[in-house]
Structures are given as C-alpha cells and as structure tokens.
Chains A and B, each alone.
Chain A
Amino acid sequence: MSSVRILVGTRKGAFILGSDGTRKQWQVDGPHFGGWEIYHFKGSVADSDRLYVSQSNGWFGQLIQRSNDGGQTWETMGNEFAYDGLPGTHQWYDGTPHPWEFKRVWHLEPSLNDPDTVYAGVEDAALFRSSDGGRTWRELSGLRGHGSGARWQPGAGGMCLHTILLDPSIPGRIFVAISAAGAFRSDDDGKSWCPINRGLRSEYIPDPTADVGHCVHSIAMHRTRPQVLFMQKHWDVMRSDDAGESWREVSGNLPSDFGFPITVHAHEPETVYVVPIKSDREHYPPEGKLRVYRSRVGGDEWEPLTKGLPQQDCYVNVLRDAMAVDSLDACGLYFGTTGGQVYASADGGDNWTCIVRDLPAVLSIEVQTLS
C-alpha cells in the first residue's frame, strides 16, 4: 500500500509526518535539528530515502544535512557556498550598490534522476549545484553574470533565490525565481540564463514592466506540461503557456491576488491552488478566513475551499514553499502556516483536517508519495 511522508521545515526544527495511503492517521517525528531554522527540507525523486535539509540560524550560519535512510540518521554535508570569481554588487534597498554576501540556503532541489545531484537557491541570490550529494557546491554563475545582476534588489525577506523548477521533458532546462529580480530560464543546464518576465507588471518599481526587478513569490508547473507555468507574484497570479516567454494575469475573482505559494494538482494540469493573503502590509488572510482557492481551468475563475479550515479570527500566513501535493489517485494537498498548523486534504482540497496543530512557524512543506 502506498504511504505519504510530509517533510516539514519550521522556524525551530524539521519534522516528518507519516501516514498510510488513507491519510487519516498521522505520526509526527521530530524535531530534528531542534532550535534551528529549516528553510527547506526535500527528498529526491530518484531515491525517496535521500533527503536534504537546509539548516541555519543567526548564530552559527548555514549547514546542509543529508539522510540516506528516510530521515532516521543524518550526516552534515558541505556548507561552502563560494560565489564564483569576484562577487560584484547588486542594489541595496536604497538603490546603492551592495556587495554580494552569502547568507543562507532558501531552497534545495534534488535532480530528477540522480540523488547525488542537488541544486541550492541561496541568499544573496545565486544558484549552486552539488554533484556529490551535497559535499561540495559550485555556483552556476551564468545566472548572476548574465547582465542584469547589478540591478537586482532584495525583497522584504532578503534577496533570495527561492524557486527552482527542473523541466522533466527538456534536459537542461531550469527555471528559477528571485525576490526581487524575477524569473529566469536556462536551456543549457545552468550555463546561460535569460530573464523571462515579459507581461509582468509591478507598480512598486520605477519601470513597472522592466525586464527584471519583479518580486516573484513562487512558480509551479505540472510535470506533464512543463511549458505551462503558474506564478504567484507579490501582487498578481500569472500564467505562461510558452515556458515563460510571456505571461498573462489570471487573478480573476480572487479576493486578493497577493500571496506566496502556488501549486498544481498532481493529475490535473489545469487545476491550480493559491492561498490569498490580504496585502503586503498585513500578511494574513482576508477577513480572518483561511481559504485555499482552486481554479480548475488554469486561472481566472477561482473557488474558495473552506471545509475544515478556520473561517474566523485566523491571522496566520502561508509561506512560499509551504504548500505541496502528493500523487495518490485522489490527489492530496497540504500546507503549513506560520501559526504551526499543517492542514491536509485527501480529496483535492474539498475537505481539510489539521493533522498537527502546534509546531513552530512552518517555513516549508514537501510531500513524498511512497509505494
């Protein structure tokens, strides 16, 4: 029988939530790395027992942990994220040049076919790759060096590379997103890059339609149709049907088009989920109601999903990496909140249960469907 493992990164440690395929009873394992911030925690598709963790705190910096046995034991891997060559400068909040400085790893993306290859998206924004299971890291410096890097500027959370999507059908095609620079694509395994932000409009930057400078919060794709991308931008939910060459807004009837995560159903490429947040000043759901919104037609038309979610006095946030799906026949959907709750739906979002309530603030959620 299949089972599901949820990998939860929180402000104070990592947790593993496990259930059989019914997804009714959940075991909570953790905290692992108690007291440390776990920005991201993800398993390899090629080897489900291979797990990678980004572990950091303000005292002792960045660590990478690896498990080869599904999280029973851990090994500290390499944490030398050295920018290639002279790092140069990007823009600071006030527009002045600021030197590139490594702060932390926001996202770890294992290769689709090699458990020893893993990508790391870091702050200050850059992409690194390890080909030895996380022992050593090498920057894919064509991203910072393609020409616009000096104009990138940090968002409120820092200048982070937070999204990495590996195209399953075109070898060497990688999408990344950076706050606040925008989305970028490589078609040659990370050697060279181009901005893919045509159609984005951001009123908070000097040129609202500039080629870079947009605060992209998250991007998602369906594995069977990777040329179609869905984006939650700082404001606006967007869609591209041409691998990012152009974007159009699909916010439609959402109560707010501000938010952080965006996710696609495991079996329905046109079914998309977002969690509207009231505004960039308030960072909690509109009207105190925690609602996931689902579009079954790829955007524009959205329906609220509320059964089992708090519909009054709820003022949590759901961060950009904190929503994911499983791949069971009835697609499961999961998200974690800054209030420490993890909610699950075993029916594509129609009904929700809180499977653990009082964790530290949830930073990331990833799901493994195990057979």
Chain B
Amino acid sequence: MIRVVLPGHLRTLAQVGAEVAVDVKGLATQRSVIDAIEARYPMLAGTLRDRATLRRRPFVRFFAGGQDLSHEPPDSPLPANVTTGLEAFLIVGAIAGG
C-alpha cells in the first residue's frame, strides 16, 4: 500500500481524511499511484493530471523524502521509503495567487 497525502480541496471532494492508502499494481511510480487514486476515488479523475494529455496539472506538485519530484518522469520509481510505507507521497496544491 502506498500512503498518499491529498490537498485539502481533494480531501473534501473524495470525503477522506488527510491521508489515504492505495494499492498499486507493479512498480510504484507517479503514474501508477495516480492511476490507483483515480480508480479508488473516481471523483478525483482529472484533478491531478489533464484528462487528455495525462500531464500533471501545473499547480499540482509531488513531494517525497523532502524532494520535489514534480518534474521527474511519470514512470520513474518512487523513493523506497514511499514504496515501503515508511513515509507518504505528498500531493500538494501549489501556493499561487498571492
């Protein structure tokens, strides 16, 4: 199971708490984790990545291990601490707009 922290608006939308756990098939990557989130919470489909291009939305950022992973390729493996469940994969709405 991969632990994921969702931004506040999406917690409200999915009616979940700060952290969710999703079962990821195969290698844990940004793409497979988002696939699992969208499968478990269909109302979140399209909120993290564009429906057509599957590109990360510009104001959605990914963090783990104190690192900004937002610009990593979507099929890169996530850090071991995330895949073992020691820490959560953080999905953050960027601070923007003043």
Instruction: Give the B-binding residues of A (Cβ under 8 A).
Output: 35-36, 57-63, 76, 79-83, 102
Contact = CB atoms under 8 A, between A and B. Distances in A.
Interface in B51-89: 51-52, 57, 59-60
Interface in B10-61: 10, 13, 42-43, 45-48, 50-52, 57, 59-60
Contacts, number: 47
B47 A36 contact: no
Contacts of A35: 9
Nearest to B45: A79
Secondary structure call for the A interface: loop
B50 A61 contact: yes
Contacts of B94: 59
A57 B51 contact: no
6 contacts: A58-B97, A59-B7, A60-B9, A60-B47, A60-B57, A79-B45
Given A76-B13, A76-B43, A80-B46, A60 B93 contact: yes
A362 B42 CA distance: 29
Secondary structure call for the B interface: loop
Contacts of B45: 79-80
Contacts of A59: 7, 9, 57, 59-60, 93-94, 96
A60 B51 contact: no
A278 B7 CA distance: 41
B9 A79 contact: no
Contacts of B13: 63, 76
A102 B13 CA distance: 22
B3 to A, nearest CB: 21
Task: Select the residue from B43, B46, B50, B97 with max chain A CB neighbours within 10 A.
Answer: B46
Contacts of B59: 58-59
Nearest to B10: A60
A37 to B, nearest CB: 12
Contacts of B51: 61, 79-82, 102
Nearest to B59: A59
Contacts of A102: 51-52
Task: Select the residue from A35, A61, A62 with max chain B CB neighbours within 10 A.
Answer: A61
A60 B48 contact: yes
A291 B89 CA distance: 53
Given A36-B9, A57-B9, A76-B13, A62 B52 contact: no
B56 to A, nearest CB: 11
Contacts of A61: 46-47, 50-51, 57
Contacts of B96: 58-59
A76 B7 CA distance: 18
Contacts of A60: 7, 9-10, 47-48, 57, 60, 93
Contacts of B97: 58
Contact of A79 (B7, B10, B46, B57): B46
A230 to B, nearest CB: 36
Nearest to A80: B51
A34 B98 CA distance: 19
